[in-house]
Every structure is written in C-alpha cells, then in structure tokens.
Amino acid sequence: MNYSKPYHFFVYRLIPVAMLTSFIFACGESEAPKQGAETTPPTDSAAMREIVVSQKDKQFAPTELKIKTGDSVSFRNDDPFFHNVFSFSETRVFDLGSYPQGETRKVVFDKPGEVEVECAIHENMKLKIIVE
Ligand SMILES: [Cu+2]
C-alpha cells in the first residue's frame, strides 16, 4: 500500500506595496483652435445649369438647344416689344405669358424629351429644346 502524501506548499508571497502618490497636474489648457465652418455644402451645379435664351429680332437665340434633365432655361426678351413664350410639347407644357424687353422668365426641364417652344405673338419664332 502506497500512501502518497500530498505535500502542500503554501507560499506566501509578500508583495511590497509601494504607495506611489503621483500628483498629476493637468495643465491641459490647450484651447482647441477655432476652425471656421467654411465648408460649403457640395452643390450639384453640374446637374442644375441655367441656360439663357435670348429673344431678339423676333427670333430665339439659339434656335436649337441641348440641355440635361434638371436644367433650367431663362428666356430673356431683348427686343423693344413684347414676346410670349409657351410650349404645348408633352415633355414640358408651359406658358410664360407675354413680357417686355429686359424681362426674363425661367422654366425648369425635369423630364427628358423634345420641347418645341414658340411665341404666340410672332408665329415664326421657334425654338427646339432637346432635354437629355
Ligand atoms: Cu415674339
């Protein structure tokens, strides 16, 4: 019969505790540099252009125009008499009415297609706008 006697070694480890008192002087007085909020929001200017069409000598100038969906066209009357701007085209039906020299009225083209623009006063005035 073998009596294996377990030997228990109790090791007391005395860990000297060094009381370290550290005084931390928070000198964090660094002021965050004031950054001016100069970040301008990104403007989708490429997709929202404004094209000016002149009405001069009883004609639209230009007489044909290619724009992108979302663009707007400003019709400026450069003649010393009234013009009228309208369209019955399905792509963009509008009627800006009649207005005198120096006045500009704007139309936004939010759908692709073809638009025939006319003047009710001068029936020879025609402008074709292709909205891509
Ligand atoms: Cu006209």
Residue-wise pLDDT tens digits, 19-32: 333 433 444 444 54
CA 48 to centroid of ligand 1, rounded, Å: 27
CA 107 to centroid of ligand 1, rounded, Å: 17
Residue type present at position 33:
P
Instruction: Supply the pTM of this predicted model.
Output: 0.65
Rounded to an integer, what distance in angstroms lies between the CA atom of residue 117 and that of residue 62?
A: 12
Percent of the residues in the chain that have a pLDDT greater than 90, as a whole number = 64
CA 57 to centroid of ligand 1, rounded, Å: 9
pLDDT at 82 > cutoff 70:
yes
Q: Write the burial class of residue 20 (CB in 10 Å: 0-12 exposed, 13-18 middle, 19+ buried).
A: exposed
CA 117 to centroid of ligand 1, rounded, Å: 11
Tell me the mean pLDDT in the region 42-50: 66
Tell me the mean pLDDT in the region 73-97: 98
Tell me the mean pLDDT in the region 79-90: 98
pLDDT at 93 > cutoff 60:
yes
Q: How confident is the model at residue 13 (pLDDT cuts 50, 70, 90)?
A: very low
Rounded to an integer, what distance in angstroms lies between the CA atom of residue 76 and that of residue 127?
A: 13
Give the pLDDT of residue 23. 39
